[in-house]
């Protein structure tokens, strides 16, 4: 059963006044970032999105999360069209985005607070989630008293607090060191194995994409389209050792083969990068 259906999404940004770019010999102030994305995601599926910089992965995630509207096309969640953030969707950001004036516990409670959950219930839920992520005892710490890995655990716990049916993750582990990153990948899989929520996970790392996913969606260089969807039939539960297996290596070679041309194309697209860095 399809939980999320993305149909023919296009997204065009307008540059700031005075800025323009040249596309195929024509000068324009419009940049097409997504150019017709079709994607059907099954219930409980773990999808990873890979693609070169500027391929619009994060924009696609924002559109699915209801934070940005598409120029044309649409997203349906369980048959309902998404126009604004859905209460059934949780979002995790690369830079954690914890509220620095709230403690770890109270950050997680926030997700329930704005949904009108009574105080005693949300405290209990938040405590349970903290202990699930191995953070019991850190309830009263402020974010800047926690390491990056701990902060991202809190942020994931916050996104899961409302029991979402869809979890959107935008390069959540990219700012962490390699060891922490692999530990958190393992934890994420362990918790996902329990709650079986639908996950869309954007990453730059091919290894991460393969390790986590049921299917890896490879996107093209700008303007982004889906280049290929690769099934990852590695057995679950997975642990770190699987990275050394022959099957994993085959997947790695396959994903890289699909991605390579697009990365090269993106490298030549330097003209655009200053315009994007807003």
The counts of H helices and E strands in the chain are: 8, 12
Q: Please, what is the minimum distance in Å from the beta carbon of residue 144 to another protein?
A: 5
Positive or negative: CA dihedral 102, 181, 205, 194:
negative
Give all strands (DSSP E) within 143-253, no chain letters: 166-170, 198-202, 215-219, 226-231
Nearer to another protein, 90 or 223 (CB): 90
String of b and e for 120-146 (b: at least 16 CB within 10 Å)?
Answer: eebbebbbebbebbebeebbebebeeb
Q: Please, what is the minimum distance in Å from the beta carbon of residue 194 to another protein?
A: 22
Indicate whether 191 belongs to the interface with another protein (CB under 8 A).
Answer: no
Residue numbers 110-169 binding another protein by CB under 8 A: 110-111, 113-115, 142, 144-147, 149-150, 158, 162
From the number of C-beta atoms within 10 Å of its C-beta (0-12, 13-18, 19+), residue 37 rates as buried
Nearer to another protein, 72 or 147 (CB): 147
Tokens representing 49 are 């999105």
Indicate whether 175 belongs to the interface with another protein (CB under 8 A).
Answer: no
From its phi and psi, is residue 22 left (phi > 0), alpha (psi between -120 and 50) or beta? beta
Nearer to another protein, 120 or 179 (CB): 179
Q: Which residue among 93, 192, 201, 248 contacts another protein (CB under 8 A)? A: 93
Indicate whether 183 belongs to the interface with another protein (CB under 8 A).
Answer: yes
Q: Please, what is the minimum distance in Å from the beta carbon of residue 132 to another protein?
A: 16
Residue 88, phi then psi, degrees to nearest 5: -90, 5
Nearer to another protein, 54 or 90 (CB): 90
Residues at the contact surface with another protein, assessed by CB under 8 A = 65, 67, 85-87, 89-91, 93, 95, 97, 99-102, 110-111, 113-115, 142, 144-147, 149-150, 158, 162, 179-180, 183
């Amino acid at each position: 059963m399809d939980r999320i259906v993305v149909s023919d999404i296009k997204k065009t940004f307008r540059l700031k006044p005075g800025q323009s770019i040249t596309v195929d010999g024509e000068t324009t102030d419009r940049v097409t970032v997504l150019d017709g994305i079709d994607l059907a995601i099954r219930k409980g599926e773990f999808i990873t999105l890979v693609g070169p910089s500027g391929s619009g992965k994060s924009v696609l995630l924002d559109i699915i999360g209801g934070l940005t509207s598409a120029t044309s096309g649409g997203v349906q969640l369980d048959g309902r069209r998404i126009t604004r953030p859905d209460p059934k969707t949780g979002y995790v950001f690369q830079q954690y985005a914890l509220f620095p004036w709230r403690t770890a516990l109270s950050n997680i409670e926030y997700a329930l607070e704005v949904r009108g959950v009574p105080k005693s219930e949300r405290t209990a839920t938040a405590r349970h989630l903290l202990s699930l992520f191995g953070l019991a005892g850190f309830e009263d710490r402020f974010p800047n008293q926690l390491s990056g890995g701990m902060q991202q655990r809190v942020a994931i716990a916050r996104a899961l607090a409302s029991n979402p049916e869809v979890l959107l993750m935008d390069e959540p582990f990219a700012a962490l060191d390699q060891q922490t990153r692999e530990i958190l990948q393992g934890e994420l899989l362990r918790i996902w194995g329990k709650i079986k929520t639908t996950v869309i996970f954007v990453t730059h790392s091919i290894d991460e994409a393969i390790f986590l996913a049921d299917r890896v969606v490879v996107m093209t260089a700008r303007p982004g389209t889906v280049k290929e969807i690769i099934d990852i039939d590695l057995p679950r539960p997975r642990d770190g050792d699987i990275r050394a297996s022959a099957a994993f290596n085959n997947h790695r070679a396959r994903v890289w083969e699909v991605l390579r041309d697009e990365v090269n194309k993106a490298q030549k697209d330097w003209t655009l990068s200053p315009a994007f860095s807003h």
